[in-house]
């Protein structure tokens, strides 16, 4: 909950301090981008939240510069942080139990690494699943 609140504060700071300037300055260039963020912003935010490579502070600030709805930002942040936090907490616990090099290959540590990899691949799997289950369009 506190991570979501902190993210929201950064988002709002970016939006109200510099967001309108960015939107005005680059209005013509951002038309398509803003439309896409309004239509599919939740998908993009969930994806970047689930991939543990993107720094959250950067996501918060950049999202504040877009036209994405504040509520969408809040719920995707809350939901998107949960899996990564759980996996990282588990990985930290397992890595804390390493006493010698051989412990790197213990079942718990290997599971932690596997979960981190799976979490990173989740957006790709979701995208593949959506495309493969979408109805095919007939060509004329």
**Segments forming the whole domain that contains residue 76:** 2-133
Q: At 137, is the pLDDT very low, low, confident or very high (cuts 50, 70, 90)?
A: low
pLDDT of 73 reads 93
Give the pLDDT score at 138. 55
Query: What is the pTM (predicted TM-score) of this model?
Result: 0.68
pLDDT in tens, 7-33: 999 999 999 999 889 988 988 888 888
| CA 53 vs CA 38, 57, 67, 90, 108: distances in Å | 24, 12, 24, 17, 22
In a domain, 139, yes or no: no
Count of structural domains, the chain:
1
Residue 140 lies in a domain: no
pLDDT of residue 110: 84
Nearest-angstrom CA–CA distance, 53 and 59:
11
Write out pLDDT tens, residues 30-67.
888 888 888 888 888 988 887 767 788 999 998 888 88
pLDDT tens track for 86-135: 887 887 888 788 888 888 888 888 888 888 788 778 777 777 887 888 77
For residue 70, name the pLDDT band (cuts at 50, 70, 90). Answer: very high
What is residue 5's predicted lDDT score, i.e. its pLDDT?
93
Whether 103 is covered by a domain: the verdict is yes
């Amino acid at each position: 909950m506190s991570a979501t609140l902190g993210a929201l504060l950064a988002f709002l700071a970016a939006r109200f301090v510099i967001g309108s300037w960015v939107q005005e300055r680059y209005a013509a260039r951002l038309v398509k981008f803003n439309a896409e963020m309004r239509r599919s912003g939740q998908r993009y935010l969930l994806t970047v939240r689930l991939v543990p490579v993107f720094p959250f502070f950067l996501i918060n600030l950049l999202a504040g510069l877009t036209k994405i709805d504040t509520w969408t930002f809040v719920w995707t942040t809350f939901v998107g942080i949960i899996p990564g936090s759980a996996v990282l907490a588990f990985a930290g616990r397992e890595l804390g139990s390493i006493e010698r090099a051989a412990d790197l290959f213990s079942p718990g540590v290997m599971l932690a690494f596997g979960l981190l990899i799976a979490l990173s691949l989740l957006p790709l799997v979701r995208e593949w699943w959506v495309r493969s289950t979408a109805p095919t369009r007939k060509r004329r």
